[in-house]
Amino acid sequence: MPIYMDLHIVPGVNSKDVAEAHSRDVYLEKDHNCKCLTYWVDELRGHVFCLIEAPSRETVYELHNRSHGLLPHKIIEVQPGLVQAFLGRITDPESGQFTDTGHLVVDETSYRMIMSVQLPDPVLVQQRAGTAAAAQLLQVQNQLIRNEITAYDGREALQETDRIIGSFITAEKAVAAALAIQEKLQDTTDQYHIAIHAGDPVAQHDKLFGETLQLLQRMSFFNHTNRVSISAGVKELIAKELLHKTQKDLFALSAEDEKLLNALFDILEEKYTDTELQVNDYARSLAMSESQFYRKTTALTGYSPNELVKEFRLVKAKELLQKGSGSITEISYSCGFSTPSYFTKCFRKKFGLVPLDYLQSA
């Protein structure tokens, strides 16, 4: 049976009241063929998250409506292993305070600092160092990243082809881990871009920590050498003393930076396939002059608008080559390059080998 996590937005919420509401859910769960596994409460932000095994989203609504009437604002289907990895549990804590009626009070937020460490492409490392040496190098460096995540009380939440994701409860620990990783990898040939963002497990996306992971992916395009990128939310949570000491090692976004970054990448993802698209089209979409757009894009990402578009298209093309999704000619046009020869030229300049060689090695 599927497992769902829901979000209740309840300003002024009290953890003891939530414990009582949860007990009513548990009392009625069998009537709805559900299993209420656990929940998290964030009194500061007025958020409650429930984890429920249920036949459908509609059943979750029906259970909550009948037991206490507090309907969820959002429900997503989740994998229990990912919930465990990001949040540390999928059942109630073993100990804690109790209400006067004997119900366990779960006073624990699910708000997490999520750190993304962008990994070098194994194909490109292999081309430079050879198969055996590349495998050994990547294994050692990836283990170093995992060790530092653990050393600063974090959890390795996810490993994808191109990044390792760590989950932390506090901003200070997340930043300390990132800086430790950055220092230990600074002498390597490959660049490991590190970014940290804070967020809730359920928001607007239909994926666990969807908004947080999306912004981290977009921050991975930053061209700020040897600096850890942090979002505005993380910056607010860091003690001023720590921020002052580490300022030269951090690239901190403002809330306005995040809005611009998301708007910029929303447009990129929508229009990058258009070979006729010009920078002034992007500027108009964001209601900016070309000079203003150039200045803000360069300050934020480290790339000029033209460079960022090209970088984005090349990354998309490389992803398609990895998947074997079409011929080189098809991929070049689908990623917005005017001709296959121009695509090949840009690809070789960026990655050091032509698309055909990459495709055969992927």
pLDDT of res. 152: 97
pLDDT of res. 164: 97
pLDDT of res. 240: 78
pTM as predicted = 0.94
Q: Which residue segments constitute the domains of the chain, with CATH numbers given?
A: 3-87 (3.30.70.3090), 112-253 (3.30.70.1230), 256-362 (1.10.10.60)
pLDDT of res. 123: 92
d(CA 304, CA 314): 15
Beta bridge partners of 115: 166, 196
pLDDT of res. 320: 94
Per-residue pLDDT tens, the chain, 362 aa: give them.
999 999 999 999 999 999 999 999 999 999 999 999 999 999 999 999 999 999 999 999 999 999 999 999 999 999 999 999 999 999 999 887 888 888 888 989 999 999 999 999 999 999 888 989 888 988 999 999 999 999 999 999 998 888 999 999 999 999 999 999 999 988 777 778 999 999 999 999 999 999 999 999 999 999 987 899 999 999 999 987 777 677 789 999 999 999 999 999 999 999 999 988 888 888 888 889 999 999 999 999 999 999 999 999 999 999 999 988 889 999 999 999 999 999 999 999 999 999 999 988 87
pLDDT of res. 175: 96
